[in-house]
Chain A
Amino acid sequence: MKLIFIAFVCLFFAACASVRPDVAIFDPVEQAILVAEAAGGDEFAPVEMRFAREKLASAKKGMEKEKYEVAVYLLEEAEINAELAIEKSRTAKSRRRVNELRKSNEELDARMRATFGDEFK
């Protein structure tokens, strides 16, 4: 009776929490941070970059202290922060392009009006 209960508890934890992970699980997160850096994350999403790096460091520490569950959560959080940093950087660049093109169109419009007067538009 008691044994069965313990077995269920173990099963529960096995189902919902991670077990001892491989050290290689850091690799994709480190990769994601590198991509985010290349995308300009430190300029466009410094907060997310910091989160990503700090959580990765914490995850490594947790792994050393054999707090696998926390370590895996932190690792996931680090990775998603890197992902968010990538997206934010790309969006910042597209926003910049929009602003530049809008400004350039306004200048073109002004130049056309100067050249053709009220006939333009």
Chain B
Amino acid sequence: MSRTMKRFILLMMVVLLSACTAPPKKDLALDRVRGELDDLKSNPELAGYAPLAVGEAERALRQAELASGDDLYRAYLVYMADRRIQIARTMAEREQHEQALDELEKQRSDMLIKASQLEADQARMDAERARLLVATTTEDAQRAREEKEQAEQKEAESARAAQLSAEEADQARRLAESRASEAEYARLEADLASQQITSLTRQLENLQLRETESGVVVTLGDVLFASGQTTLVEGGRSSLAEVVDLLQTEPDKKIRVEGHTDSLGDAETNLQLSEKRAQAVLEALVSMGVSSERISALGMGEDFPIASNEDEEGRARNRRVDVILLDN
């Protein structure tokens, strides 16, 4: 091989090498891609993440920068570099997310820890309160126990005393029994009294009652008799039922039935009328269970009005039969 031939080959080798390694021409697309990588690497939020992917992007970009040859090939390399950078950026973002997730998880568990501490604090406070309560209760219990012991001692003493004399004990028992029956009796009486009071109260609500010097007076208005009549109207007996109930609450007291009239008409007639009416009420009461031995009837005529005889309303009030539960 001649020297010129050798030189030529050498030259071609150089050309070949330069074809593959020659610095590229000014390339806008390449500049843009380089800018993207620089942007990724200088981004304060993403810098340092996904180093392997960034390295790959770096290599792809350098390959594109160093490439020579046809535009198609170089465009391909630039495109690949661009995609590599985007992959690197995406992976960097994901790594950043993962770090954020770690921080958020930590934040969450810190919150839960804090919450459980506060809950524990509350529980401790509750427990302290409960402990104090228990302590107080224990003191109370202690006191109660001491009192009980004292009582038991006393009981034991009295038991011993009781043992000393069986007769004494027996007496004591009898006494206790009689006391118990007395108490029972008293209770029954009280019950009875309260029952009476209740029924009396009920009757007092329905009947026209007055307290007088001679005793309790039940006034029966002029509904019992028709005008001028001396027999009870139909239904008059039923209105006496309450009076009978009232009278039977005081079975020991005497009863006087007084008839009164208004001042119309002649006084003698009125007297007779009042007497007959009083007698009619007496008979009705006796027929309804009031003992005839404790009841008497009296005509009072027109001389004991309880209201004015000047008007019909007053006269109506004066036409009445008084049933008096005598105090003596």
CA A95 – CA B90 in complex, angstroms?
A: 11
Produce 1/0 per residue, A81-112, CB < 8 A to B.
10110011011001101100110110011001
The interface residues of chain A lying within 8 Å CB-to-CB of B87 are 80, 83-84, 87
Max chain B C-beta neighbours (<10 A), residue from A11, A87, A108: A87
Give the CA-CA distance A91 to B90 in the complex, in Å.
Answer: 6
Query: Would you call B97 and A102 a contact (CB within 8 A)?
Result: no
Beta-carbon contact of B111 and A112 below 8 Å: yes
Indicate if the CB atoms of A98 and B73 lie closer than 8 Å. Answer: no
Q: Is the interface of B mostly helix, strand, loop or mixed?
A: helix
Q: Which residues of B contact A84 (CB under 8 A)?
A: 83, 86-87, 90
Interface members, chain B 44-84 (any A CB < 8 Å) = 69, 72-73, 76, 79-80, 83-84
Given A77-B83, A88-B90: A8 touches B97 (CB 8 Å cut-off): no
Q: Which residues of B contact A80 (CB under 8 A)?
A: 80, 83-84, 87
Known: A84-B86, A101-B108, A105-B108. A94 touches B72 (CB 8 A): no
Which of B99-107, B241-249, B285-293 makes up part of the contact surface? B99-107
Asked if A16 CB lies within 8 Å of chain B CBs, one says yes
B111 in complex: contacting residue of A1, A90, A108, A119, CB < 8 Å: A108
Contact of B115 among A4, A12, A83, A115 (CB under 8 A): A115
Residues of A within 8 A of B79 (CB): 77
Most chain B beta-carbon neighbours within 10 Å: one of A11, A91, A95: A91
Q: Which residue of B lies closest to A51 (CB)?
A: B83
Question: Is A73 within 8 A of B83, CB to CB?
Answer: no
Contact B118 A120 (CB under 8 A): yes
Cα A68 to Cα B19 with chains together (Å) = 22
Contact partners of A88 in chain B: CB under 8 A: 90
A8-B16, A84-B86, A112-B115 known; A97+B97 contact, CB < 8 A = yes
Taking residues whose C-beta sits less than 8 angstroms from the other chain, chain B's interface range is: 20 to 34
Instruction: Give chain B residues whose Cβ lies under 8 Å from the Cβ of A95.
Output: 93, 97
B90 close to A94 (CB less than 8 A): no
> What 0/1 pattern do residues 27 to 44 of B give for CB contact below 8 A with A?
000000000000000000
How many residues belonging to A are interface residues under a CB distance threshold of 8 Å?
38
Tell me whether A121 and B101 are in contact (CB under 8 A). no
- Cα separation A91 to B97 with both chains bound (whole Å): 8
Does A94 lie within 8 Å of B98, measured CB to CB? yes
Shortest CB-to-CB span from A33 to chain B, Å, is 15
Inside 8 A of A5's CB, which chain B residues have their CB? 12
Distance of A51 from chain B, by nearest CB (Å): 9
User: Which residue of the partner chain A has the closest CB to B19?
Assistant: A12
Given A69-B72, A70-B72, A87-B90, also A101-B114 (CB < 8 A):
no
- What 19 new A-B contacts, CB under 8 Å, besides A83-B87, A98-B100? A8-B12, A8-B16, A16-B20, A16-B69, A16-B73, A69-B73, A73-B73, A84-B87, A87-B90, A94-B98, A98-B97, A98-B104, A101-B101, A101-B108, A102-B100, A102-B104, A108-B108, A112-B111, A116-B115
Q: Give chain B's interface residues, CB within 8 Å of chain A.
A: 8-9, 12, 16, 19-20, 69, 72-73, 76, 79-80, 83-84, 86-87, 90-91, 93-94, 97-98, 100-101, 104-105, 107-108, 111-112, 114-115, 118
21 intermolecular pairs with C-beta atoms under 8 Å apart:
A4-B12, A11-B16, A12-B19, A69-B72, A70-B72, A80-B80, A80-B87, A84-B87, A84-B90, A87-B90, A90-B94, A91-B91, A91-B93, A94-B94, A97-B97, A105-B104, A105-B111, A116-B118, A119-B118, A120-B114, A120-B118
